[in-house]
């Protein structure tokens, strides 16, 4: 039974999370609760949980400040943020402080279950003697995950590529992957995919005599009209004009 600590200023939400975690997901026990960061820091002196779940915007002390102080005292504590604010700046700070995941309210039961199951599997591997210290280093883990995502994108440029699919492949919440990807690369995931598709299209236009609709299909576009519009927007000229310039 793993021990969890909840930090959430809305009592109804906190009670709902407690019920969901203990009675529906199972395998976890809520050993402490607080409605702001200041209260949580005091309580943590007497309750050392395996995982802390916290909101961001709270009175007295917000979640980000609380996490910063927790890292000074308990550097290895696992933390998951649940917030109603889909704000990249908050998520970027959360990643900086090495949180395990970042979920948005209203909490999706399936996503929370996935996060807790991933945590449980990680702990089970550690208890089996698997040395995962290097993997637990957040910055290293982030780079490895993004490298894997880029490899998957390169393999699937002629197919549909969605953030949800990629998140499933690397076992992350799709919202967290979106923030992590931009934090690591400086680009939105969708923009990165588009650039990769355009680079492949340019290569095909240069090295083959395929028709434009065939180039579009191999670059992941069902509609050649849509492909031509995106190509012109990104490259500055139409695919035909681009090919003509190469001659």
pLDDT tens figures, 119-148: 888 887 766 654 445 445 566 777 888 989
What is the tens place of the pLDDT at every residue in 160-217?
Answer: 899 999 988 888 888 889 988 988 888 899 999 999 999 999 999 988 888 999 999 9
Segment 30-46 mean pLDDT: 90
Residues sharing a CB contact under 8 Å with residue 184, sequence separation 6 or more, in sequence order: 142, 143, 146
Give the helix/strand (H/E) hosting 45.
none
CA within 13 Å, CB half, 22: 14
The band of 24, judged by pLDDT with boundaries at 50, 70 and 90, is confident
Query: Considering only CA atoms, which of 150, 227, 160 is closest in space to residue 192?
Result: 150
Check: CB of residue 21 under 8 Å from CB of residue 50.
no
Residue with tokens 């280093």: 137
In the predicted structure, residue 225 carries a pLDDT above the cut 50: yes
Query: Within its chain, how far is the Cα of 47 from the centroid?
Result: 29
Check: CB of residue 111 under 8 Å from CB of residue 173.
yes
Quote the CA–CA distance of 194 and 160 in Å, as a whole number. Answer: 12
Task: Say what the pLDDT of residue 135 is.
Answer: 47
Check: CB of residue 28 under 8 Å from CB of residue 22.
yes
What is the tens place of the pLDDT at every residue in 48-65?
Answer: 899 999 998 888 888 888
């Amino acid at each position: 039974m793993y021990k969890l600590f909840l930090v959430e200023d809305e009592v109804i939400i906190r009670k709902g999370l407690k019920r969901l975690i203990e009675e529906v997901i199972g395998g976890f026990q809520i050993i402490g609760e607080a409605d702001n960061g200041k209260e949580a820091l005091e309580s943590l002196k007497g309750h050392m949980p395996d995982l802390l779940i916290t909101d961001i915007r709270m009175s007295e002390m917000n979640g980000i400040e609380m996490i910063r102080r927790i890292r000074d005292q308990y550097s290895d504590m696992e933390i998951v943020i649940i917030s109603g604010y889909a704000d990249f700046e908050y998520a970027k700070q959360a990643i900086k402080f090495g949180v395990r995941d970042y979920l948005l309210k209203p909490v999706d039961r399936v996503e929370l279950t996935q996060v807790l199951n991933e945590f449980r599997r990680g702990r089970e591997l550690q208890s089996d003697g698997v040395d995962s210290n290097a993997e637990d280093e957040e910055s290293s883990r982030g780079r490895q995950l993004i490298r894997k995502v880029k490899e998957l994108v390169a393999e699937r440029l002629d197919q549909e590529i969605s953030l949800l699919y990629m998140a499933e492949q690397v076992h992350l919440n799709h919202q967290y992957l979106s923030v992590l990807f931009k934090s690591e690369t400086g680009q939105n995931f969708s923009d990165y995919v588009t650039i990769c598709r355009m680079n492949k299209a340019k290569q095909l236009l240069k090295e083959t005599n395929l028709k434009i609709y065939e180039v579009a299909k191999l670059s992941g576009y069902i509609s050649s009209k849509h492909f031509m519009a995106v190509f012109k927007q990104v490259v500055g000229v139409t695919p035909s004009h681009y090919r003509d310039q190469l001659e």
